[in-house]
């Protein structure tokens, strides 16, 4: 008999709660290896899909509307790393801002 196949059968039965107690030690030993862990994850994903409820159908044009809304969102930018002590200070723009500290918006006096 193919040992690899037998181990997968044991892991499948274990994931279903149907493995006889006499075979638990073999199944647990198989789960210590990468192939056993892969089989365990695969069987649980299959079980999750079999138990999943059907999702309702999305309305017509949903994907297009979602794409438009995502495109309208502002892009997130990564902040620059802080300047290490003793390092050269960043160059300042005419408004006093640096790459790390962008210029603050001007306040308009409404009087």
pLDDT tens digits, one per residue of 75-91: 777 676 666 655 555 55
Residue 35 forms part of a structural domain: yes
Domain count, the chain: 1
Confidence of residue 18 (pLDDT cuts 50, 70, 90): very high
Q: What pLDDT is attached to residue 50?
A: 83
Residue 41 forms part of a structural domain: yes
State the DSSP H helix or E strand holding residue 6, giving kind and residue range, or none if neither. Answer: helix 3-15
Residue 23 forms part of a structural domain: yes
Structural domain range at position 46: 3-51
Q: Quick check: 94 pLDDT over 90?
A: no
Q: What pLDDT is attached to residue 91?
A: 58
Residue 105 forms part of a structural domain: no
Residue 31 forms part of a structural domain: yes
Residue 59 forms part of a structural domain: no
Cα–Cα distance, 67 to 75 (Å, whole number):
14
Exposure on the CB side of residue 81, measured as CA atoms within 13 A: 4
Residue 8 forms part of a structural domain: yes
Residue 47 forms part of a structural domain: yes
Longest dimension (CA), the chain: 91
Confidence of residue 28 (pLDDT cuts 50, 70, 90): very high
Q: What pLDDT is attached to residue 96?
A: 59
Question: Would the CA dihedral through 82, 86, 90, 94 be positive or negative?
Answer: positive
């Amino acid at each position: 008999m193919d040992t690899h196949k037998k181990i997968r059968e044991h892991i499948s039965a274990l994931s279903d709660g149907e493995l006889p107690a006499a075979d638990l030690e073999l199944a647990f030993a198989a789960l210590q290896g990468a192939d056993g862990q892969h089989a365990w994850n695969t069987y649980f994903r299959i079980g999750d899909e079999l138990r999943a409820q059907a999702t309702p159908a999305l309305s017509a044009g949903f994907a297009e509307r979602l794409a438009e809304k995502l495109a309208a969102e502002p892009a997130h930018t990564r902040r620059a790393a802080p300047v290490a002590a003793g390092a050269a200070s960043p160059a300042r723009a005419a408004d006093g801002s640096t790459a790390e500290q962008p210029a603050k918006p001007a306040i308009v006096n409404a009087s």
